[in-house]
Chain A
Amino acid sequence: MTSSFNWGLPEAASTFAPEIDFGIKLLHWAMLIIFVLWGIFFTYLLIRYRKRPGVSVEAAEGGVWKSLLPDGFILVFELALIFFYAIPVWARIKTILPKSEESNVVAVIAEQFVWNIQYPGPDKKFGRKDLKFIDSGNVLGLDPEDPDGKDDITTLNELHVPLARPTLMHLTSKDVIHSFFVPAFRVKTDIMPGLKIPLWFEPTHVGKYEITCSQLCGIGHSGMRGDVIVHTPEDFKSWLAAQAAEKKANQ
């Protein structure tokens, strides 16, 4: 819809956010119109056919076709929504993923009640992870012997991403079901333990946006949050370089 009224939705900051907002606004306009027309008819009936002395009940009407009219109208509206809106948009967002080579690829490892973010580093390869390496100093369980993991960058509750390029995430959970939600990007998925869930988005504005966990994950659920920091491509490059240098210096 072209209206400037946005139904209380927050700022939209990803490439597909406007598509989702379009659906939400369209549906709410439709719902409002249906409800108001229906409400007017309902109120009319209540007033017109209230019990009055001397006015008797009208003879019952036969046939059901009149009542099937709204059903048919709603059915056509819904089928149009499914095939021209819901399925195509869903496919673009959820089933068609951007190519790894063209994306900023990150791994997100959720646990009670933090977001661990892992970048592959300059070699563009993620280090091997194994349960047996997990301890307080190595929460992800990175294999210390694996050369691919030497340059990996990890952050806590901070996801740095470049502008104007898709970020492709592989989400896993160490313990229970979490759900990755960035309201401004209109992106959300549950993270099922035992599965690796892909998810992508492409930011359209530089800035800081909140990540929240939207699936009840225990007593710290409401405090499980983080931030996406969207950099310009140049800033992102220098951020990565700085992180890589720091990583090297620490070794």
Chain B
Amino acid sequence: MTTSLHHGAHQQGWIQKYVFSVDHKVIGLQYMITSMVFLLCGFAMVMLMRWQLAFPGQPIPLIGRFFADSMAPGGVMLPEFYNQLGAMHGTIMIFLGIVPLGVGAFGNYVLPLQIGAPDMAFPRMNMLSYWVYLPGGILMLLSFIMPGGAAQSGWTSYPPLSIINPGQTVWLIAMIFLITSSLLGSINFLVTVLNMRAPGMTLWRMPIFVWAQTVSAVLLLLAFPPLEAASILQLMDRVAGTSFYLPAGLIISGEALNVSGGGQPLLWQHLFWFLAHPEVYVLILPAIGIVAEIIANGTRKPLYGYKEIVGSMLFLGVMSFIVWAHHMFLSGMSPKLSNFFVVTTMIISIPSVAILTCLIWSLKGGSITFSVPMLFALAFLPMFAIGGLTGLPLGLPATDIYLHDTYYVIGHFHYVVVTGSVIALFGGVYYWFPKFFGRRMNDFWGKVHFWGTLACMNGIFFPMLIQGMAGVLRRGYDPTLQTTNLSTQHWHVFSSYSAWVLFLFQIPFIVNFFYSMFKGKLSEENPWKATTLEWACPSPPPHGNFDKPPKVYRGPYEYSPPGGKRDYLPQHIEKEELA
């Protein structure tokens, strides 16, 4: 099968080449464009929410009049619309934005190249994975215009609220699409890594990025099926009258809910977080992989502690399955259970510290170039550190009593996922852009994008930590209704302005991306003088990637070898050829 797919010299039609393509690179770019569009959608939603948070009850300026009366009559946002935007912001950013960008886009495009493979192991399944993801995403977005609107019970969808609220059925069906897509992708990644490596590419010669994708794929493969099952059970509760998550005797606005009962809302939380905690590592591991690639390249020095980083990632992967209930210290589960989960939670912080330490130690003795990808990779380090450190008071049940469900939590995970993952993913776009299109992105506008983005992101999320300390709760439609919130309301205004300015700083990126795709400066074959295999083929690589299968002679980061004439030894070149 693979032979006919990769070495067929037949002419392909436009549709076959760019739409229903089985080429991992085209699928990777499809994922990239789609997920960036979804990131923009999720961002647009939160920009609307931030208006309501900063100026509750005032009509949204300029665009307010375009909303339906069921959303924002007279431009004033309704609470149900706020809750829909909130639930969809979380869902879209995580399941349709960051994971597809980190795994679907970069994983698909870069991973086969870095291991020297002609394509993914199952090209058609790869295509199917994208074509299951896209309808799932469109369905999710369309739910806004359905009667009752989109899901409005938070991205966590806790029953019983999610079962009695409108919109949830479409959310569940769309999630089943997304989970299926993810499962198809993760199986494909694992088989590709295990079976398709070029000769000489031993496991210990794989770049960190490949390791990161491999661990992510294992997490997706093992953690998503419980959520798929859980989602189907919740769907049954909504449409088939079952009560997996509904206890007997619920009274909704004075009326007894007509269900048999006997279910348990806590069951959903356990199943949900059993996925959603490993999911956090799926959000961050590809980002760490990208940062490691860029740092090794930008310091012209081998990574410090390659094996330690890989070992830490494997350990993170295993541990991430036994920490889930730290999201549930106050859920009403037995308080004694918390003692187990606090210990595992503290243990899992150690490999993250180890990875961060190795990455920063890699800078020592290097020759650091401040290119645009390198700026993003370097910014990742302190930002991810803030994200990790603010996890400490949340991970200890005693301090979590106060901070749980406050803006402190929101600040914490946005530091991890936005100033962490998203910053790294931006770095990845600038780093591999010459590979994708054979052209460079503009440096000046890249730096404008970087500094503006970094400043604005901190302007959004740092105030959240301050508000959380003051006891401001998350998911509040109108913060001024509670006296606790009043003393820090001005920080809501500050956050909101930062969010809107952050949008302005994305415009140079979007223009730069599309302009450079067609008109950017032509790039050399290996513009970063990098060692890994993705630079051993033309840019962009043709169908089938390599002219002849590459042979691998060394590890991934042999920069500045002692006594060498050039400051890097590509993995695929034998020493004699270099001399």
Question: A residues engaging B (CB < 8 A)?
Answer: 7-10, 19-20, 23-24, 27-28, 30-31, 34-35, 38-39, 41-42, 45-46, 49-52, 55-61, 64, 66-68, 70-71, 74-75, 78-79, 81-82, 85-87, 89-91, 93-95, 111-112, 131, 134-136, 139, 174-177, 179, 181, 183, 186-195, 197, 210, 212-223, 225
Contact = CB atoms under 8 A, between A and B. Distances in A.
A57 B404 contact: no
Nearest to A187: B401
15 contacts: A24-B399, A31-B389, A49-B363, A52-B367, A61-B365, A70-B357, A71-B353, A74-B350, A94-B401, A177-B265, A181-B473, A188-B402, A194-B248, A222-B482, A225-B481
A46 B473 CA distance: 38
A216 B469 contact: no
Contacts of B254: 134-136, 139
Interface stretch (B132-140, B154-162, B200-208, B492-500): B154-162
Given A49-B299, A86-B397, A175 B482 contact: no
A171 to B, nearest CB: 9
B342 A82 contact: yes
Contacts of B361: 66-67
A152 to B, nearest CB: 19
B153 to A, nearest CB: 7
Nearest to B252: A175
Chain A at the B interface: mostly helix, strand, loop or mixed? mixed
A194 B368 contact: no
Interface in B74-92: 78-80, 83
Q: Which 3 A-B pairs have the closest CB atoms?
A: A194-B247, A58-B365, A183-B471
B482 A45 contact: no
Given A20-B398, A175-B251, A193-B247, A35 B335 contact: no
B153 A216 contact: yes
A93 B398 contact: yes
Interface string B266-281: 1000000000000000
B308 A64 contact: yes
Contacts of B562: 59
A51 B392 contact: no
A85 B349 CA distance: 18
A95 B335 CA distance: 6
With a 10 A CB-CB cut-off, give which of B381, B385, B471 has the most chain A CB atoms: B471
B378 interface: yes
A49 B365 contact: yes
B40 interface: no
Contact of A42 (B360, B405, B476): B360
A180 B405 CA distance: 11
A24 B342 contact: no
Nearest to A189: B330
A35 B160 CA distance: 41
A179 B164 CA distance: 18
Contacts of B397: 86, 90, 94
Contacts of A194: 247-249, 264-265
Given A187-B401, A223-B478, 16 more contacts: A27-B392, A35-B389, A60-B302, A67-B305, A78-B350, A81-B396, A82-B396, A86-B342, A90-B397, A94-B335, A175-B251, A194-B248, A215-B405, A218-B83, A222-B79, A222-B477
A86 B274 CA distance: 23
B368 A49 contact: yes
Nearest to A75: B350
B368 A50 contact: yes
B301 A57 contact: yes
Contact of A46 (B79, B368, B393, B482): B368
B4 to A, nearest CB: 45
Interface string B376-408: 001001100110011011001111011111100
Interface in B224-281: 247-254, 256, 264-266
Nearest to B161: A176
Contact of A192 (B83, B331, B367): B331
Given A179-B330, A191-B332, A197-B332, A223 B481 contact: yes
B481 A210 contact: no
Interface in B140-187: 152-154, 158, 160-161, 164-165
Given A64-B305, A95-B336, A28 B398 contact: no
Contacts of A218: 83, 161, 165
Nearest to B557: A60
B2 interface: no
A179 B302 CA distance: 51
A124 B252 CA distance: 29
